[in-house]
Structure 1
Amino acid sequence: KKTVIVSLWGDLATNIGQELLDIADKSPVVAIKSLKVGDFQGVSLSAISKSLVLIDPEVPEAQKLRSWYDSEGKDTAMAALSSGSIPSNSGNRSVYSDRVTLSHITSNPSLGAEKPAFFSIRGYISFIKADQAMWYRACKTCNKKVTESTGAGYWCESCQKNDEECNLRYIMVVKVTDASGEAFISTFNEEAEKIIGCSADELDSLRSQEGEDSPYQLKLKQATWTPHLLRVSVSQNEYNNEKRQRITARAVVPVDYAVESRNLLENISKMGVSQ
């Protein structure tokens, strides 16, 4: 009796994802083979290249699940394994807690002066600068930054070892917009992957492809104007003896419109009570 978020990418998202979206009101049974398990928001599941997704498969387990859901499951309270809960180093709250508009953050320059402040926002990724430094070379063991060795390979100062290969990990800035305004938000690897829809290594391979319709530019364009729920931290950085506000994404979650509708109804109800 638990729920978990599963992310689909590429053709799976385009084809199977659209099919699921079209029949979501029928609550289909979904069987998925070969998923990547991560610790994003407690537990997260992501499709990989060899993932297999079946909708309403004709197997006993699916029939049993359907029978349970129709008789009692749809009215049963579920424990969420990944419904927006954030690890403790990210404010230990939900993307549905401390919801504010971007203007609430940007119009209060003193926020985060003494210690980081955490908020949740709902907004659109409105711009991603294509020529920014979007990633760094990382050690495959510890994810720390590596440097090119004099001979060959990459040197990790943290692990004190040289490897033939390294990974690319995102570290980029995106512009987020909501009804109240806009702000530039720093994102790191896990959060950026949720926004872009692929790994930094995959995006780098697209960047190297030339053509009139650049697949790299197209990928960034596809990532914009999609709504997200973001858990952000607000802190103060000093630059040229001037303190500046720094907003960092700590979690990025797709908008669950059913949950958003329930929250909206609850807020409207509270407004009626207060009056």
Structure 2
Amino acid sequence: MNAVKLSLNRPQAKDFNLDAGTVLAIKSGKINEFNGSKSVSLMTSSMINKDPDLPEAYKLKGWFDNSGFKEDFKSLKGSSDGGADLNSKESILARKTIQQVNDERLGYNEKPDYFNMKATISFIKTDNFSYPACQSSDCNRKVIEQSDGTWRCEKCDKNYEKPKHRYILTISVVDTTGQLWLTLFDEHAHQLIGMTADELIEFKESDHDNKLKKFVNENISFNEFGFRIKGRLDSYQGVDRARFQVVGLSKIDYSVEADALCEVLDKVSVN
């Protein structure tokens, strides 16, 4: 079963008090996508109806009261966000090389392009890899340090003693055909590094960066990974360019790689 986050503005949140199991019908809500996960936010024009008199609402209510409350819910993700197994034979055979990404101008289309690839990490930027974010689990907004030493989130209208740092990690990857810059946000950067952004900051500050560079070179750089990439068009100073974000990441399963290669070779006719 899937769960989706609903964001309310301040007046709506102030009066929002519902029991678990209440069915909501939302009209004119805004669907947001971040890092592949989807959420819904209410606009000023949005309408929300509690326990609507609809057959679908009665069915949903009955399911939740009888068994649904015991279910484990997963975050709702788009079908192209990398939820598929990157080590499946189908995903491996569908990979693009960096040369193909450039030749097909992926990331320059009106809608985002999604593709798989296998590449080796050649460089990780460790000078600026995170930003101070709100402590709330439902908010990823950047917080600003105040004169009294607290950190303020304008969205939540709250001050915190300290921020929760979230990744914006930039890496360079290469394959036999070229080089590409990728961005990893918090979930996938954490998966790659094996530490939270706060832990990595503490690790970096413990030895004036030398310790961090050694850790990156010995554990991450020059290793090969499978990637699910989202390419989208961006404009900087009037110049269009493609930006590439990692929305799926996996270590290479060489046994499946070998099976996929054998399938390719079986299709090659030998004269």
- Measured against the shorter chain, the TM-score band is 0.5 to 0.7
CA spacing shift, 1:217–1:174, aligned 2, 3 Å: same
Letter in 1 for 2:144: T
CA spacing shift, 1:245–1:210, aligned 2, 3 Å: same
CA spacing shift, 1:112–1:185, aligned 2, 3 Å: same
Identify which of 164, 170, 175 aligns with 1:173: 170
Kept in 2, the 8 Å contact 1:186–1:249? The answer is: yes
* C-alpha distance in 1 between matches for 2:225 and 2:256: 13
The aligned residue for residue 134 of structure 1 is 129
User: Deviation at 1:87?
Assistant: 4.9
CA spacing shift, 1:252–1:167, aligned 2, 3 Å: same
Question: Deviations 1:222-252 (Å, cap 9, x if unpaired)?
Answer: 3101111000011111111110111111111
User: Deviation at 1:173?
Assistant: 1.1
SS in structure 2 opposite 1:271? coil
Aligned ranges 1:74-89 → 2 under 5 Å:
87-88=78-79
Question: Deviations 1:192-213 (Å, cap 9, x if unpaired)?
Answer: 12222222111111211236x8
* C-alpha distance in 2 between matches for 1:109 and 1:239: 17
How many pairs were matched up?
190
Kept in 1, the 8 Å contact 2:234–2:241? The answer is: yes
User: Deviation at 1:94?
Assistant: 4.4
Letter in 2 for 1:252: L
Identify which of 231, 240, 243 aligns with 2:237: 240
Which residues of structure 2 form unaligned runs of 5+?
Answer: 1-34, 38-76
The aligned residue for residue 105 of structure 2 is 109
* C-alpha distance in 2 between matches for 1:206 and 1:129: 15
* C-alpha distance in 1 between matches for 2:109 and 2:99: 17
Letter in 2 for 1:122: K
SS in structure 1 opposite 2:248? strand
* C-alpha distance in 2 between matches for 1:88 and 1:162: 37
The aligned residue for residue 193 of structure 1 is 190
* C-alpha distance in 1 between matches for 2:130 and 2:189: 10
Letter in 2 for 1:120: N
Is residue 2:231 matched to residue 1:231? Answer: no
The aligned residue for residue 100 of structure 1 is 96
* C-alpha distance in 1 between matches for 2:197 and 2:164: 8
Structure 1-normalised TM-score? Answer: 0.62
* C-alpha distance in 2 between matches for 1:240 and 1:157: 28
CA-atom RMSD in angstroms: 2.6
SS in structure 2 opposite 1:137? strand
CA spacing shift, 1:238–1:103, aligned 2, 3 Å: same
Is residue 2:190 matched to residue 1:216? Answer: no
SS in structure 2 opposite 1:165? coil
SS in structure 1 opposite 2:267? helix
SS in structure 1 opposite 2:108? coil
Kept in 2, the 8 Å contact 1:154–1:166? The answer is: yes
Letter in 1 for 2:187: E
Question: Deviations 1:163-212 (Å, cap 9, x if unpaired)?
Answer: 1122111102100011111111111111112222222111111211236x
Which residues of structure 1 form unaligned runs of 5+?
Answer: 1-39, 43-85
Question: Deviations 1:70-116 (Å, cap 9, x if unpaired)?
Answer: xxxxxxxxxxxxxxxx7536266443163111111123336432111
Structure 2-normalised TM-score? Answer: 0.63
Kept in 2, the 8 Å contact 1:176–1:184? The answer is: yes
Is residue 2:141 matched to residue 1:144? Answer: yes
* C-alpha distance in 1 between matches for 2:118 and 2:83: 18
Kept in 1, the 8 Å contact 2:106–2:113? The answer is: no
CA spacing shift, 1:140–1:182, aligned 2, 3 Å: same
Identify which of 258, 261, 264 aligns with 1:264: 261
Aligned ranges 1:42-53 → 2 under 5 Å:
none
Letter in 2 for 1:246: R
Kept in 1, the 8 Å contact 2:83–2:248? The answer is: no
